[in-house]
Structure formats: C-alpha cells, structure tokens
Structure 1
Amino acid sequence: MSLPRRALVTAAASLAAALTLAACGSSSGASAELAPAKGSTAPNGITVNLTPQQNRVTTAKVDAIAALVPEEIRKRGTLTVVDSIGTTPPLDFYANDDKTIIGVEPDIAELVGNVLGLKVEFNPVSWENIFVGLDSGKYDVGFSNITVTEARKEKYDFATYRLDVLGFEARKGSGWKVTGPKDIAGKTIAVASGTNQEKLLIGWNEQNVKNGLKPADLKYFQNSADYYLALSSGRVDVYVGPNPSTAFHGVQSGETEVIGTYSGGGDVLGKIAATTKKDNGLVRALGGALDEIIRNGTYGQVLKRWGLDGEAVRSSEINPPGLPKPKP
C-alpha cells in the first residue's frame, strides 16, 4: 500500500495519538528520548524524529546467539530484511528524505541485527512480493507486521515480537462502533487482499449470513491512498487495517477515527512475527535475539518510542498457534 510520502512525514506530529493508545491498551503519558532535530511533538509527549539520522536504540552482540545463525549468513555478514513498501506509519515509512525507511519494524530488525552481529539490509517491496522473496531465498527474514497463521506455518518459520491489533477506521461522526460481526452487516468495507484482516471479515460475513444478516461488501484497491479516497468520498463505510496505522491516519487527517479494534486473530490472539523460510535454520537465532532485546529492555524502548508499548510480548515464541485455516 502507498500514500504520498511527503504527506505522511509532514503529518507525523500525530504519531503518538496514532496509536490510539487507549485502544491499544498502552499506558498513558508514554514518552521517549529521541533526537530533537526537526522532529514533531505529539500530544502525549512523544517526539517523533523524521530525519534519516534516527539515532536508533542499539544493543550489543551476543556471541552465543550469533552462533545460531546459519554459516552462509554469518560469512556474508548481512541480514537481508524484507518489508512492505515504507508508507504505513508508524510501522514502516519514509523519513523526510523520502528514501530512508523508519518506524518500529526497522527499529526492531536493527536490534536483532545488533544481537546477531549482522548488518541489516532493508528491501522494501509490495506485500505479495515479501513472500515471493522469502520463498526464493532472496531475503532472509520479513519484518512487516506479518501475522502467524496455520496456513503460513506450512511454508514459513516464525519468531513472535508483537501482538496483532486491527483498527476499523471510519469518517468522524459516523455514529457506529464495531465490536463484532453484527456491526459490519450490510456495510461496505475497504480491505487489503491476502491479509489477516480480510480473513477476519470473510469469517464475520459467513457468521452474519448464517444468522440471517446481510454480508459486508468488501472492496479492494491498489494502495492506501485509494482506500482513503474511497473512505472520504463515502464509497466505503470503513477501512480495516493495522490499528497503529489506522489510528495514525485518523489523527493526521482529522477527518476519520478508529471506531473499533479487534485482535488480528479474531477470537484467537493474533501475533506478529519475524518470518523466514521454513527449515532454513534461521528461526532459532531470530527467536534468541528477540528474547535478548526483550530481556535487556531495548525492545521496550523501541515500542515506547513509537507509542506501541501496549502491543508488547513478554517473550518471543517460535511457531506458536496461529490463525486457523479457513473452514472448507
């Protein structure tokens, strides 16, 4: 998905509320020490540094964990990270130079690289090409708000690092809230194809039809700019996406708001994970590195930096139960 880059970076003063922290369950008054250069201060006190000089939180290499990295990657000295095209703040988006990717996902990836003693190389691509690149071995790992699912576990290994929360974003004053399937009956909804939010909505539609309610009409567009154009024009009633980005956009635009949140796993607790090709030998190193940054506190600093401390996990799980496969 993509939005005009400049529009995003100039709007980052809204990042903290972005996170509709109450909706995410984060503590109030969170703050972070960021470089003051040309940043913006959001209402809850978080200062967002939009420059390419991110002064990221760093940590030390841990030899015992680095030794778990497959030899080929150790010799190469780089960790090739694939992420979706950087236009979904605060997950990953472009700094004010329009080319440097910043956000919570690259920050966590860099910390993992620190622990493993590897230089992180970012490769922004479209969503579907994340998996194409992982399948081919072109990229080592995906850090891109990827949810663990039972279907994906057949092809990929996962090491979790954040909870998955979805946001339902509608025009302000729409007068409705979303708490479950019945609330979307008969509505027109924008959603990205191939995402767990699409799977959630399809499941809700099935429930509504069984209960004698109208299904929601799901609409698909090429990028997020198109979603928001459709939302502002009234062609769709709501857009469903990652809660951090929907809340960010709501505060940025002043025209929309999050009218409900839900676990990305539906009735199962959804979990976001570092994603790598199955059985390539890398997942234990990723899980070990994530556990290390959780233990030493740098992980918490990064989440607080972006206002996402309410989505923290206590430890990294390797291949935990994921979203169930759709019923045949």
Structure 2
Amino acid sequence: MFASPRRSKLLVSAMTAVALLGSAACSSSDAATDAATDAGYNLTAEQNRITTDTVDEIAAKVPQAIRDRGTLIVTGSAGTAPPLRFYADDDTTIIGSETDFAYLIGDVLDLDIELTAADWAQNFVRVDSGEADVFISNVTVTEERKEKYDFATYRLDSVAVEVKKDSGITFEGSEDIAGLTIGVGSGTNQEALLVAWNEQNIAAGLEPAEILYYQNAVDYFLALGSGRIDAYVGPNPTSAFHVLQAGESEIAGTFSGAGDELQGEIAVLTKKDNGLIEAINEALNHVIDNGTYAEVLERWGISTEAVESSRINPPGLPTTA
C-alpha cells in the first residue's frame, strides 16, 4: 500500500518537535520540513546525494541482461520509515539511507537506479518474479530467507523498544514485555522475535503481552503518543529518528535483530544464484573502503550501525519451528 499524501504529511509532522504526537496532523507541512532541515535532515526531493566513482572491473560482474538494460530495479517498503526509506516533502520522491545505499551501488556498477515501493511481503514477490532485481529496505538476513535468496550485508540489525517518555518502562530481556500492549510490523523479523518472547513468557507463567500490528510508522507514532500501545518494537534507526524529532518518546532498550545469540545484519537481497550478489558485495566493500558509505550513515544519524565489511550470506536469524 502506497502512502497517501495525507499520510505522508502526517509523517513529516510527527517527526518534528513543533507539536505533540497527538496533534501532529495539525502542524504545517512546510514548518515541519523546515524544522527537520534545521536539525540536519534534508527532506526535499532535491537530495544532493553522496556519489562515488564507477569501478569497471566490478561493473563487469553484473549479469549481461542487467548491464544491457542499464538500470538496477530496486524494490522496498512503501515509504513510511524515516530515516531508512520514506517520502520527501513532495509526497512522491523516495528518500532515506536505504535509497542512498542503492544509489551508491548503482554508481559503482554504472547503473541507473529505478526505485519502486510495495507492501513488505510483496517485495519478496517482486524479486521472485524478476520484476525487481534487488530488495533494499532494512531486510534482515535469516536462515529461512537464505534458502531462496542471496544477501550482501551493509548494516547492523539493531532493534529498539520505544516507549512514551517517562513511562517507567525499561527493557533488559524478553520477560520485560510481559503484560504490555506492544506494536510491531507484520511479517518482520521483529514480529518473529516478539512472538517467540511472548511464547517463552507464557510458558514460564508470566502474563502475556498483547501484540498489535502497524504497517506505517505514522500509525505507531500516534498509537504510542495516545497510549493505545505501551511500546513499539521496530528498527532502531526509525525509533532513534522519531525520538530525536518528536521529543515525546524514548528508547527503553535495544537488542540484536537476530536474537540473543547472534548479531543480526541488514543486507541487500537478490534472487538466489542470479549472478548479481558478488557484484553488489564488491560494490559495497568499495564504498566502505572509500568512505562514502560512512558519509551516508552519518548523514542519517545511524553511524552506530556500521559494518566493517560486506559479507555474502552470513549466519542469519535462526529458523524457528
């Protein structure tokens, strides 16, 4: 589902400190954009993106059909998760750190980038069908996904528990979700972890959590601000960005998106054995080495999620029964 203009304007308003969450829809879109820009974020369609050089020997590893076409078709979530992937102030242009990484990859591979957006599950379908070449949108490496897809990592997967400021809620382990009403995105690895924790707690005799589902960031912003949910479990960059901009919530705790035993990683996803992953992996390592990768992370305030190098198909979130 694509974000409507109204929803996009609500999202920009909700990210700023010019209004409380509950009245974010009443804020001026222009004022919200100005405030976010003053805080160091460019929310306009004119992104002045960080660029890098083409590397012919890496570009030569791209499958011939894609080289002949001259474009890399990138799918991702439908634009409601700042600073990762969201709509600019024109309600049309997709911006954010995930799109910046896509453009850097395109630079190295000498390919134009064609950005598309879809609901989370539909992004996998688009890669399966060949409608899109890659899925770049905070995708966690999991063992189950590795059965069908190849991955080239580019960011740590850190998940946050976001709560209303001064709620008194803290998060140190799975037992801390007992009895809470918690929001999460459907079909995400955050949901899988939350469900597993809830089942563990119930088995241990603790009070179950109530899990509510939100597909758009603006919806959880408003639910958290109104008290409909006690907490939201989602990507740390999105929660950190929201906390900074809105000033009405805080991070109660962070953890690996792959659970207690493994540091999760975010990766570019391609169809398995389609010949593209090696070129993408080398492109990512090139931008890590030349510093443009770090510039993108710094630009969006997510430098703590940097990886030392891109890896192909590392250990992922374990498959559960």
2:319 aligned partner: 325
Structure 1 stretches lacking a partner, 5+ long? 15-36
Distance in 1 between residues matched to 2:11 and 2:213, nearest whole Å: 22
Q: What displacement does 1:100 show? A: 1.0
Would you say 1:149 and 2:152 are equivalent positions?
A: no
1:287 aligned partner: 281
Would you say 1:309 and 2:303 are equivalent positions?
A: yes
Paired letter, 2:43: L
Paired letter, 1:156: Y
Superposed CA RMSD in Å reads 1.9
SS in 2 for 1:151: helix
- With 306-315 and 212-221 compared, the bigger mean Cα shift is at 212-221
Paired letter, 2:313: N
2:130 aligned partner: 137
Distance in 1 between residues matched to 2:224 and 2:37, nearest whole Å: 27
Distance in 2 between residues matched to 1:254 and 1:89, nearest whole Å: 15
- CA 286–94 in structure 1, closer or farther in 2 if over 3 Å, else same: same
Would you say 1:229 and 2:232 are equivalent positions?
A: no
Distance in 1 between residues matched to 2:108 and 2:203, nearest whole Å: 50
Paired letter, 2:229: V
Deviations 1:189-229 (A, max 9, x none): 11111111111112212322232212222112453333333
Q: Does the 8 Å CA contact 1:86/1:124 hold for their aligned counterparts?
A: yes
Equivalent residue for 2:38, pick from 34, 41, 44: 41
- With 256-265 and 76-85 compared, the bigger mean Cα shift is at 256-265
Deviations 1:127-148 (A, max 9, x none): 1111110111100001100000
Counting helix residues as a fraction of each chain, which structure ranks higher? Answer: 2
1:177 aligned partner: 170
Q: Does the 8 Å CA contact 1:12/1:48 hold for their aligned counterparts?
A: no
Distance in 2 between residues matched to 1:290 and 1:192, nearest whole Å: 28
**Percent identical across equivalent pairs?**
57
Distance in 1 between residues matched to 2:130 and 2:304, nearest whole Å: 33
Distance in 2 between residues matched to 1:76 and 1:312, nearest whole Å: 32
SS in 1 for 2:67: helix
Runs of 4+ in structure 1 deviating by more than 6 angstroms, as ranges, are none
Deviations 1:60-107 (A, max 9, x none): 110111011001000000000001111211001111111111110010
Q: Does the 8 Å CA contact 2:15/2:242 hold for their aligned counterparts?
A: no
Would you say 1:272 and 2:275 are equivalent positions?
A: no
- CA 178–38 in structure 1, closer or farther in 2 if over 3 Å, else same: closer
Would you say 1:192 and 2:185 are equivalent positions?
A: yes
Q: What displacement does 1:266 show? A: 1.1
Q: What displacement does 1:11 show? A: 5.9
Paired letter, 1:186: G
- The number of aligned residues is 301
Q: What displacement does 1:249 show? A: 2.0
Distance in 2 between residues matched to 1:57 and 1:39, nearest whole Å: 19
SS in 2 for 1:321: coil
Correspondences of 1:53-132 after superposition (within 5 Å)? 53-132=46-125
Distance in 2 between residues matched to 1:312 and 1:224, nearest whole Å: 23
Q: Does the 8 Å CA contact 1:13/1:48 hold for their aligned counterparts?
A: no
Paired letter, 2:114: E
Paired letter, 1:8: L
Paired letter, 2:300: W
Equivalent residue for 1:5, pick from 5, 8, 11: 8
Would you say 1:249 and 2:242 are equivalent positions?
A: yes
Structure 2 stretches lacking a partner, 5+ long? 18-33
Paired letter, 1:316: S
Distance in 2 between residues matched to 1:241 and 1:166, nearest whole Å: 6
Distance in 1 between residues matched to 2:245 and 2:35, nearest whole Å: 18
Distance in 2 between residues matched to 1:103 and 1:227, nearest whole Å: 19
Q: Does the 8 Å CA contact 1:12/1:40 hold for their aligned counterparts?
A: no
Distance in 1 between residues matched to 2:306 and 2:161, nearest whole Å: 21
Distance in 1 between residues matched to 2:298 and 2:217, nearest whole Å: 26
